[in-house]
Amino acid sequence: MNKNNADLYQISSAYDGLESPGYGARPDYFRERAFSGRPASRADRQILRWLLKAAGNPPVRFLLWNGEEVGDDAVTPVARIFLADRAALLRLAINPDLNFGDCYSSGRIEIDGHLVQFLETIYRASACLPAGSLKQRLMSRSGHARSNSLVGSRDNIHSHYDIGNEFYRLWLDEQMVYTCAYFGDASMTLEQAQVAKMDHVCRKLRLKPGETVVEAGCGWGSLARHMARHYGVKVRAYNISHEQVIYARERAKAEGLDGSVEYIEDDYRNIAGDFDAFVSVGMLEHVGVDHYPELGEVIHRCLKDSGRGLIHSIGRNRAKPMNAWIEKRIFPGAYPPTLAEMMQILEPQEFSVLDVENLRLHYARTLEHWLWRFEKASDRIMAMFDMDFVRAWRLYLAGSMAAFRASDMQLFQLVFALRNNNDVPWTRDHIYLWQGQPEA
Amino acid sequence: MNKNNADLYQISSAYDGLESPGYGARPDYFRERAFSGRPASRADRQILRWLLKAAGNPPVRFLLWNGEEVGDDAVTPVARIFLADRAALLRLAINPDLNFGDCYSSGRIEIDGHLVQFLETIYRASACLPAGSLKQRLMSRSGHARSNSLVGSRDNIHSHYDIGNEFYRLWLDEQMVYTCAYFGDASMTLEQAQVAKMDHVCRKLRLKPGETVVEAGCGWGSLARHMARHYGVKVRAYNISHEQVIYARERAKAEGLDGSVEYIEDDYRNIAGDFDAFVSVGMLEHVGVDHYPELGEVIHRCLKDSGRGLIHSIGRNRAKPMNAWIEKRIFPGAYPPTLAEMMQILEPQEFSVLDVENLRLHYARTLEHWLWRFEKASDRIMAMFDMDFVRAWRLYLAGSMAAFRASDMQLFQLVFALRNNNDVPWTRDHIYLWQGQPEA
Q: Is A355–B358 a contact, with Cβ atoms under 8 angstroms apart?
A: yes
Q: Is B426–A319 a contact, with Cβ atoms under 8 angstroms apart?
A: no
Q: What is the predicted pLDDT for the residue at A436? A: 63
Q: Which residue of A has its CA nearest to B317?
A: A350
d(CA B188, CA B208): 27
pLDDT at A141 over 80: no
Q: Is B357–A358 a contact, with Cβ atoms under 8 angstroms apart?
A: no
Q: Which residue of B has its CA nearest to A434?
A: B432
Residue A338 CB partners (closer than 8 Å, separation 6+): A315, A316, A317, A318, A319, B343, B347
DSSP 3-state of B86: helix
Distance (Å) from the alpha carbon of B277 to chain A's nearest alpha carbon: 15
pLDDT at A439 over 50: no
Q: Is B358–A352 a contact, with Cβ atoms under 8 angstroms apart?
A: yes
Separation in Å, CA B357 to CA A411, B52, B204: 16, 36, 11
A371 near A117, Cβ under 8 Å?
no
DSSP 3-state of A206: coil
Q: How confident is the model at residue B14 (pLDDT cuts 50, 70, 90)?
A: very low
User: Which residues in chain A touch residue B338, judged by CB atoms under 8 angstroms apart?
Assistant: 343, 347
Q: Which residue of B has its CA nearest to A438?
A: B2
Mean pLDDT of A121-130: 85
Q: Which residue of A has its CA nearest to B430?
A: A432
Q: Is A423–B340 a contact, with Cβ atoms under 8 angstroms apart?
A: no
Residue-averaged pLDDT of chain B:
88
Q: What is the predicted pLDDT for the residue at B305? A: 94
Antiparallel, parallel or unpaired: β B409-417 and B303-316: antiparallel
Q: What is the predicted pLDDT for the residue at B356? A: 98
Q: What is the predicted pLDDT for the residue at A95? A: 93
Q: Tell me: the pLDDT tens digits for B88-144? A: 999 999 999 899 999 999 999 999 999 999 999 999 998 877 655 555 544 444 445
pLDDT at A377 over 70: yes
pLDDT at A365 over 90: yes
d(CA A381, CA A379): 5
Q: Is A353–B339 a contact, with Cβ atoms under 8 angstroms apart?
A: yes
* Angle, vertex CA B87, rays to CA B84 and CA B92, nearest 5: 90
Backbone angles phi, psi at A259, to 5 degrees: -80, -25
Backbone angles phi, psi at A229, to 5 degrees: -70, -45
Q: Tell me: the pLDDT tens digits for A324-357? A: 899 888 888 889 999 999 999 999 999 999 999 9
Which neighbouring-strand residues pair with A358?
Answer: A412
Distance (Å) from the alpha carbon of B133 to chain A's nearest alpha carbon: 15
Q: Tell me: the pLDDT tens digits for B240-256? A: 999 999 999 999 999 99
pLDDT at B4 over 50: no
The DSSP secondary-structure symbol of A14 reads G
Which one of B356, B406, B432 has the shortest CB-CB distance to A355?
A: B356
Sign of CA dihedral B16, B17, B22, B28: positive
Element (H, E) at B160: helix B150-161
The DSSP secondary-structure symbol of A41 reads P
* Angle, vertex CA A312, rays to CA A311 and CA A314, nearest 5: 130
Q: How confident is the model at residue A2 (pLDDT cuts 50, 70, 90)?
A: very low
d(CA B364, CA B199): 20
Q: What is the predicted pLDDT for the residue at A41? A: 93
User: Which residues in chain A touch residue B423, judged by CB atoms under 8 angstroms apart?
Assistant: 1-2, 5
User: Which residues in chain B touch residue A8, judged by CB atoms under 8 angstroms apart?
Assistant: 422, 426
Q: What is the predicted pLDDT for the residue at A139? A: 46
Q: Is B408–A352 a contact, with Cβ atoms under 8 angstroms apart?
A: yes
B338 near B316, Cβ under 8 Å?
yes
Which one of A358, A424, A433 has the shortest CB-CB distance to B352?
A: A358
User: Which residues in chain B touch residue A183, judged by CB atoms under 8 angstroms apart?
Assistant: 426
- Asked which of A155-159, A274-278, A306-310, A419-423 is least confident by mean pLDDT, the reply is A155-159
Residue of A106, A78, A83 lying closest to A93 (CA atoms): A83
Q: What is the predicted pLDDT for the residue at B9? A: 32
User: Which residues in chain B touch residue A412, judged by CB atoms under 8 angstroms apart?
Assistant: 353
Q: Is A338–B338 a contact, with Cβ atoms under 8 angstroms apart?
A: no
Q: Is A317–B4 a contact, with Cβ atoms under 8 angstroms apart?
A: no
Residue-averaged pLDDT of chain A:
88
d(CA A140, CA A321): 6
Q: Which residue of A has its CA nearest to B425?
A: A2
Distance (Å) from the alpha carbon of A69 to chain B's nearest alpha carbon: 30
Q: Is B353–A405 a contact, with Cβ atoms under 8 angstroms apart?
A: no
pLDDT at B436 over 70: no
Q: How confident is the model at residue A14 (pLDDT cuts 50, 70, 90)?
A: very low
Phi-psi region of A350 (alpha: psi -120 to 50; beta: other; left: phi over 0): left
Residue A180 CB partners (closer than 8 Å, separation 6+): A197, A282, A312, A314, A359, A362, A363, A366, A411
Comparing B157 with B234, which gets the higher pLDDT?
B234
Residue of A298, A292, A299 lying closest to A315 (CA atoms): A292
Q: How many beta-carbon pairs below 8 A join chains A and B?
A: 145
User: Which residues in chain B touch residue A357, judged by CB atoms under 8 angstroms apart?
Assistant: 354-355, 428
B244 near B219, Cβ under 8 Å?
yes
pLDDT at A185 over 90: no
Q: Is B352–A408 a contact, with Cβ atoms under 8 angstroms apart?
A: yes
Q: Which residue of A has its CA nearest to B318?
A: A347
Q: Which residue of B has its CA nearest to A416?
A: B358
d(CA B54, CA B39): 24
Which one of A317, A339, A352 has the shortest CB-CB distance to B410?
A: A352
Q: What is the predicted pLDDT for the residue at B370? A: 96
d(CA A248, CA A237): 10
Q: How confident is the model at residue A378 (pLDDT cuts 50, 70, 90)?
A: very high
User: Which residues in chain A touch residue B1, judged by CB atoms under 8 angstroms apart?
Assistant: 423
Q: What is the predicted pLDDT for the residue at A29? A: 67
- Asked which of A158-172, B28-42, B85-99, B411-425 is least confident by mean pLDDT, the reply is B28-42
pLDDT at B352 over 70: yes
* Angle, vertex CA A90, rays to CA A85 and CA A91, nearest 5: 100
B224 near B200, Cβ under 8 Å?
no
Distance (Å) from the alpha carbon of A351 to chain B's nearest alpha carbon: 6
User: Which residues in chain A touch residue B292, judged by CB atoms under 8 angstroms apart?
Assistant: none
Q: Is B317–A346 a contact, with Cβ atoms under 8 angstroms apart?
A: yes
Q: Is A184–B427 a contact, with Cβ atoms under 8 angstroms apart?
A: yes
B411: buried, middle or exposed (CB in 10 Å: 19+, 13-18, 0-12)? Answer: buried
pLDDT at A147 over 90: no
Distance (Å) from the alpha carbon of A177 to chain B's nearest alpha carbon: 20
Separation in Å, CA A94 to CA A40, A48, A50, A135, A317: 18, 12, 12, 12, 28
Q: Is B350–A318 a contact, with Cβ atoms under 8 angstroms apart?
A: yes
Comparing B71 with B154, which gets the higher pLDDT?
B71
Cite the beta strand spans of B153-253 per DSSP E: 212-216, 234-239
Residue B3 CB partners (closer than 8 Å, separation 6+): B186
Q: How confident is the model at residue A237 (pLDDT cuts 50, 70, 90)?
A: very high
Q: What is the predicted pLDDT for the residue at B150? A: 82
Q: What is the predicted pLDDT for the residue at A35? A: 79
Give the distance, in angstroms, between the CA of residue A251 and the centroid of all CA atoms in the same chain.
Answer: 25
B237 near B251, Cβ under 8 Å?
no
Q: Which of B7, B292, B356 has the most A C-beta neighbours within 10 Å, making it the best mutation to test the interface with A?
A: B356
Which one of A1, A318, A339 has the shortest CB-CB distance to B339?
A: A339
Residue A329 CB partners (closer than 8 Å, separation 6+): A101, A102, A105, A392, A396
Residue of B357, B3, B363 lying closest to B186 (CA atoms): B3
Of the CA atoms within 13 Å of residue B1, those in its CB half-sphere come to: 11
d(CA B323, CA B313): 17
Q: Is A2–B425 a contact, with Cβ atoms under 8 angstroms apart?
A: yes
End-to-end CA distance of chain A: 42
pLDDT at A172 over 50: yes
A261 near A237, Cβ under 8 Å?
yes
Q: What is the predicted pLDDT for the residue at B134? A: 53
Q: Which residue of B has its CA nearest to A200?
A: B427
Residue of A12, A390, A24 lying closest to A171 (CA atoms): A390
pLDDT at A176 over 90: yes
Q: Is A352–B317 a contact, with Cβ atoms under 8 angstroms apart?
A: yes
d(CA B295, CA A125): 26
Antiparallel, parallel or unpaired: β B352-358 and B409-417: antiparallel
Q: What is the predicted pLDDT for the residue at A26? A: 55
Q: What is the predicted pLDDT for the residue at B21? A: 40
Element (H, E) at B41: none
End-to-end CA distance of chain B: 42
d(CA B330, CA A280): 42
Distance (Å) from the alpha carbon of B20 to chain A's nearest alpha carbon: 29
N residues, chain B: 440
Distance (Å) from the alpha carbon of B241 to chain A's nearest alpha carbon: 32
User: Which residues in chain B touch residue A310, judged by CB atoms under 8 angstroms apart?
Assistant: none
A51 near A142, Cβ under 8 Å?
no
Residue of B250, B247, B205 lying closest to B230 (CA atoms): B205
DSSP 3-state of B325: helix
B63 near B35, Cβ under 8 Å?
no
pLDDT at A93 over 60: yes
Q: What is the predicted pLDDT for the residue at B11? A: 38
Q: Which of A353, A363, A423 has the most B C-beta neighbours within 10 Å, making it the best mutation to test the interface with B?
A: A353
* Angle, vertex CA A254, rays to CA A250 and CA A256, nearest 5: 115
Distance (Å) from the alpha carbon of B438 to chain A's nearest alpha carbon: 10
